[in-house]
Amino acid sequence: MLEQGALTGLTVIDLSRLLPGPYASMILADHGARVIAIEDRRFMSDNFFVTTVNRNKEHMSLNLKTSRGRDIFEKLLERADVVIEGFRPGVVERLGIDYPSLSSRHPGIIYCSISGYGQTGPYRDRVGHDVNYLASAGVLDLIGPADSAPSIPGIQIADIAGGGMNAVIGILLAFIARSRTGKGQYIDISMTDGMLGFLSLPMWFREMTGKSPHRSDAVLSHRYACYNTYETADGRYLSIGAVENRFWKVLCEHFGVPQYTPLQYDEVHRQEIIAFMRERFRSKPIAEWEKELAPLEICYAKVNTLDEVLDHPMFRERHMVIDQSDATGKTIRQFGIPVKLGRTPGKLRTPPAAFGQHTKAILSELGYSESEIASLVREGVV
């Protein structure tokens, strides 16, 4: 097994902040890329420095609105392969660090812009957050109770999947293309575009049935008893995902209702079967159900809380929950690396950096003297 990661030798300059861009650069850093994250010092007081996506990175402060700040950025660029930015469309042009400006001097640069609605189109300049991108893409309409308002998920799906993950895919594709052509390219990531891609299955059902999907009323969203969630006696919840009839048959026979086996997707008996399952699952606490259902092949899972996940033996054994010491020696809990490569595995090499922690070290590496660095600090450049 090699010590180096799959992306060792790749240098990434991350100008983004908050979640989508930093999540993308964390994935690259986990697999060996050198990531230098850059933020203006004025953001220190925002309390939105998300430490859980800043591991394995170096972090420096830099004011790109100053000429000296842009000079420093240019020096960093000479060593970089990738630039990630998450500003509103038009900002990088005003700063003079847009892709056409940089690629004219650095034709191999891979430049990834992450925005809510993309760099083109009627929503280009519209502000937004995760809930707005989910809403615009039609995803939010499919989340929540059928007889109530759409529910906002407790996780940032558009930021992470629509933005961060798609950015990584785009960067790796561009990196492969550069290895053949020697030329970098521009990547336009819209978080809303990314969420539209999540509707592949609802779109297929729509084409197949001629009916548009409705909230909590689809084959894979509460319409049938075989793919549903059920409350238990102690107020917890259990998920059942017995889509295939062979799994559904096991559950029906276990509950002594084999007559429901052929009625899995029957419309006439749908509510009757759901009512039976609800009553049955409310008869015992979650712990008893886990013991009872464990030997059976029915596709079930307890709805875990975050606290339960952090102590779950499965995630511990698979190194998805890891204890690590931060710079102060304090033990912090980190999520592991989900993409598990056999020869060049990702690693948690360093804990999350503090805001601007590596500013002086990076400037020294670029050739700035101590007196020059002190001057840059006084002038608010870094």
Domain ranges of the chain: 11-197+319-378, 227-308
Q: Domain 11-197+319-378 adopts which CATH fold?
A: Rossmann fold (3.40.50)
The model's pLDDT over 163-210, given as tens digits with 9 standing for 90+, comes to 999 999 999 999 999 999 999 999 999 999 999 999 999 999 999 889
Give 332's pLDDT tier (boundaries 50, 70, 90).
confident
The whole-number pLDDT of residue 116 equals: 97
Q: Is residue 2's pLDDT more than 80?
A: no
Give 44's pLDDT tier (boundaries 50, 70, 90).
confident
The whole-number pLDDT of residue 305 equals: 96
The whole-number pLDDT of residue 216 equals: 94
Q: Is residue 135's pLDDT more than 50?
A: yes
The whole-number pLDDT of residue 322 equals: 92
Q: Is residue 99's pLDDT more than 50?
A: yes
CATH superfamily of 227-308: formyl-coa transferase, domain 3 (3.30.1540.10)
Q: What is the average pLDDT score of the chain?
A: 95
Predicted TM-score (pTM) of this structure: 0.94
| Mean pLDDT value of segment 320-345 | 90
Catalytic (active-site) positions = 129, 159
Query: What percentage of the chain has pLDDT greater than the value 70?
Result: 99
Q: Is residue 285's pLDDT more than 80?
A: yes
The whole-number pLDDT of residue 262 equals: 98
Strand partners, 82: 12, 110
